[in-house]
Amino acid sequence: MPLEGSKKFSVIIPVYNEEGYIKLAIIALKNQNLPRQDFEIIVVDNNSNDATAEVAKNAGADKVVKELKQGTNMARQRGFLESRGKIVAFLDADSKPPIDWLTKIKKILLQKDVAAVSGPFDYQFQGFKKILDFIYVHFILSYLDKFLYFFFRKKAGVIIGGNFAAWRWAIEKIGGLPPLKFFGDDAAIAMLLSREAGKVIFTPQLKVISSQRRFEKQGFLKLAFKYARSYLKIYFS
């Protein structure tokens, strides 16, 4: 049964003190090569104490809602409950999707048995970091689920939480987004969708430009190790 006033897409952006980034993310979404009426932009304010909500409204978000329970997945789930799209996409506030982001998402989701799709962040690294990132994306993330299934016969999926989309029915089938905090939140989504809803596709073709700020304190290798550790912990749990 279709949702009342349903859209083709809902794009959900969880935010916490993102006044310096959210405007550019919304502008990039408004520039998608789709009719504007085909998608809605929902910003979920996760207890910001800056002007993020006001900036988002002024930039053109269709809805700005608040989620008091702290955590990225809690904010994503609130956005999902507020959404009307048949396809629900998730974006980080410091990311800028290319003009054909939603078009690519739809094309992949229409493939047989596909429940969700995700892609990497393009941090626009230079030099050695760019090489490391290429290896990480094209040879680790792109084949991790296949490697694990080959050796352990247990389904897996790879999702980058700030750049993925799924059919509404698929998210409903897994009971919504699991209430986990950062590090492991997107891995849990990937495991549930791949085991209960259908294929989870990870493709380097679905890139979004994103800020390097997450590496400023911890560095690329340390952060990649943390992600890998949390992913494997959830996979084997």
Q: Who's near 128: CB < 8 A, 6+ residues apart? A: none
Nearest partner of 93 among 12, 189, 176, 164, judged by Cα: 12
Tokens 């296949």 — which residue? Answer: 146
- 7-235: CATH number: 3.90.550.10
CB distance 206 to 141 below 8 Å: no
CB distance 88 to 81 below 8 Å: no
- The per-residue pLDDT for range 143-187, each reduced to its tens digit, is 888 888 888 888 989 999 999 999 999 999 999 999 876 567 899
- 82 token code pair: 């507020």
Whole-number pLDDT of residue 2:
46
- Span 198-217, mean pLDDT? 90
Taking the C-alpha atoms of residue 187 and residue 174, their distance in angstroms, rounded to an integer, is 14
Q: Who's near 231: CB < 8 A, 6+ residues apart? A: 144, 184, 187
- 88 token code pair: 């629900």
Please, which residues bridge with residue 199 across strands?
114
Domain positions in the chain = 7-235
